[in-house]
Amino acid sequence: MTRAVLSLGSNLGDRWATLQGGVDALLTGEGAPVPVALSPVYETAPVGGPDQGAYLNAVVVVETEGTPEELLERAQAAERAFGRVREVRWGPRTLDVDVIAFGDTRSDDPRLTLPHPRAHLRAFVLRPWLDVDPTAHLPGRGAVADLLAAVIADEPEEEEEPHLREDLRLGPPGGSP
């Protein structure tokens, strides 16, 4: 079994229901990875791209017997199930699922670069990941706690840190807030 980290985000429609639906889609069915941890939900300002609404973000840590490519296909299938459209880079999305890390695997494959090439710069990935794994390391980059501290120190004053949404909780497939 290999431990993998997935980041989920949504800023269109019923964001929480979409995140929970994404968790359900990722963790059910034949060959589904085994959940290890579901992070708290954070509300975050969009990074890059056109003007758009705030995101809800979370991290899911799983263990899988599958390959990184199989996990990516499962992530993209979940996105498609929620109407993900890839028209504008970094544009608004119903559901975004990124494979952040897959064990210690490193790959420069343009279809699936591992670890995720911008994860070390994204508080909306690092903060929830740190919540569920305080000793986490991003392969080739270092301790997630140190990476988050650096991102927070480097953020422009107008950007906000991720805001914990204590009123929203993800659960295993079929969960509720």
pLDDT tens-digit map of 44-84: 988 776 677 899 999 999 999 999 999 999 999 999 998 86
- 93 in catalytic set: yes
Give me the catalytic one of 93, 122, 127, 131. Answer: 93
Nearest 5°: phi and psi at 75?
Answer: -65, -45
- The length of the chain is 177
pLDDT for residue 131: 97
- 96 in catalytic set: yes
- 84 in catalytic set: yes
**Residue 177 binned pLDDT confidence (cut-offs 50, 70, 90):** very low
Q: Percent of the chain, pLDDT > 90?
A: 75
Query: How far is it, in rounded angstroms, from Cα 128 to Cα 133?
Result: 9
Say which residue, 150 or 161, is predicted with more confidence.
Answer: 150
Q: For the domain made up of 2-164, give the CATH fold.
A: Alpha-Beta Plaits (3.30.70)
pTM exceeds 0.85, yes or no: yes
pLDDT for residue 45: 85
Say which residue, 171 or 47, is predicted with more confidence.
Answer: 171
Average of per-residue pLDDT values in the chain: 89
